[in-house]
């Protein structure tokens, strides 16, 4: 999905271990191969709490975003705050980008993300 790649190009921040340019490149790879997916808002009658999910391995990678997050990405509204944690869509995109680069959850949570309006 081109909108995800465009959202990644608007990211700022990152860290020494996970520079924004590397995250942007990783998104170019997965969007180029079409490996962006939509997760439902609920599963088994329970709300899906996470905004995104990334799988890396076996020679490939993919990212799935919850449907509301993917809709906001598609609308270019990556500054929108979502959920009850006070994080914006750009933070979710950046967080999943760290996972694309092989970072674990602790590493991904430590990186701060912003965006170019």
Q: Is position 44 within any domain?
A: yes
Name the pTM for this structure. Answer: 0.94
Can you tell me the distance from the alpha carbon of 56 to that of 40, in angstroms, rounded to the nearest whole number?
Answer: 21
Dump pLDDT digits (tens) for 32-66: 999 999 998 888 898 888 889 899 988 789 999 99
Count of beta carbons in the 10 Å neighbourhood of residue 61 = 18
pLDDT > 70 in the chain, percent: 100
Q: Is position 117 within any domain?
A: no
Can you tell me the distance from the alpha carbon of 102 to that of 95, in angstroms, rounded to the nearest whole number?
Answer: 11
Q: Is position 63 within any domain?
A: yes
Q: Is position 31 within any domain?
A: yes
Q: Is position 106 within any domain?
A: yes
Q: Is position 80 within any domain?
A: yes
Q: Is position 92 within any domain?
A: yes
For the chain, how many structural domains are there in total? 1
Domain around 33: 2-112
Q: Is position 99 within any domain?
A: yes
DSSP bridge partners of 65: 38, 52
């Amino acid at each position: 999905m081109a909108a995800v790649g465009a959202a990644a190009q608007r990211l700022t921040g990152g860290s020494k271990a996970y520079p924004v340019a590397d995250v942007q490149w990783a998104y170019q790879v997965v969007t180029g191969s079409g490996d962006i997916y939509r997760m439902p808002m609920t599963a088994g009658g329970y709300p899906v709490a996470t905004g995104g999910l990334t799988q890396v391995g076996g020679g490939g990678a993919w990212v799935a975003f919850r449907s509301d997050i993917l809709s906001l990405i598609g609308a270019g509204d990556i500054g929108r705050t979502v959920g009850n944690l006070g994080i914006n869509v750009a933070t979710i995109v950046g967080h999943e980008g760290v996972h694309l680069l092989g970072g674990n959850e602790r590493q991904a949570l430590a990186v701060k993300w912003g965006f170019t309006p």
